[in-house]
Amino acid sequence: MFNKIANIGILKDNSSGHQQEYSAAEKAAIRKVKRKKVNKDSIVFSPAALFLTEVKWGLSGVDYSSESQIKFDFNIEELNFKLTVDFNEFYKTSHQVVWVSKDIFRKEARKRHSLKILVRKPSIRLFEKFPPFPVPGITSVFRRIEKMNIKSEFYKYESLALHSLLDGLEYEIYEDFKKIFFVIYSFIDKLDKYDLNHMYVFPYNNMDNILIEKVLVKDEH
């Protein structure tokens, strides 16, 4: 279940202090505005929001106030995912940047382990419903990070240790991300704001399906 949804649904206050829906004409006019303010603490049960509740993501926020970008911030199990879908480049690029993080608690200390990952975008498939799913491959990567006892950060060009994080897990990790992307595609489609080309196949290149760009470990207070 989710606690907050940012910019899902369109509501306004009437003179009595209660919320009511805009008319269809008002919604169409508002969609033309590049920036709009929405109460981020309100929960609006739009079709897109309900779709995500069925997947059981812990949704921190979805910001689609821009005409060309959607920013996602959500949790699956103990992992936090952040990514920005930029429609200026969406159909032109093969990979998507995703930040994944996990908080580790040891005694009274808390560390945040974060990964910057390039993920090959699977072809666009749209689903009316999608069952909840675990992400065992991505979870296994974070177990390996804990065992490595990284003190600060590694970049892809600085350490061979990054390659060992994916050893034997590439297929499972990519299967996790394919499901995540199918949910994101379906959610975007249900917003009824951005046109998606169903079954579109993204440009191919020789890059791996999964590339770790950076590993970051920070103390959290």
Residue 79 reports pLDDT greater than 70: yes
Residue 221 reports pLDDT greater than 90: no
For residues 149-176, average pLDDT: 79
Least confident window among 59-63, 98-102, 172-176: 59-63
Does residue 3 lie in a domain region? Answer: no
190/48 Cα distance (integer angstroms): 5
The number of residues making up the chain comes to 221
For residues 148-152, average pLDDT: 71
Does residue 103 lie in a domain region? Answer: yes
Q: What is the percent of the chain with per-residue pLDDT over 70, rounded to a whole number?
A: 74
Higher pLDDT, 108 or 48: 48
Q: What is the pLDDT of residues 124-142, one digit of tens each?
A: 999 999 999 999 999 999 9
Does residue 4 lie in a domain region? Answer: no
- What angle (nearest 5°) sits at the alpha carbon of residue 116, between those of residues 219 and 109? 15
Does residue 32 lie in a domain region? Answer: yes
Does residue 69 lie in a domain region? Answer: yes
Residue 18 reports pLDDT greater than 80: no
Q: What is the pLDDT of residue 3?
A: 31
Give the domain extent around 154. 11-220
Does residue 47 lie in a domain region? Answer: yes
Does residue 195 lie in a domain region? Answer: yes
Residue in 56, 19, 38 with CA at minimum distance from that of residue 183: 56
Least confident window among 18-22, 184-188, 196-200: 18-22
Does residue 1 lie in a domain region? Answer: no
Residue in 33, 36, 35, 48 with CA at minimum distance from that of residue 11: 36
Q: How many structural domains comprise the chain?
A: 1
The one-character DSSP state at 88 is T
60/136 Cα distance (integer angstroms): 21
pTM for this model (two decimals): 0.78
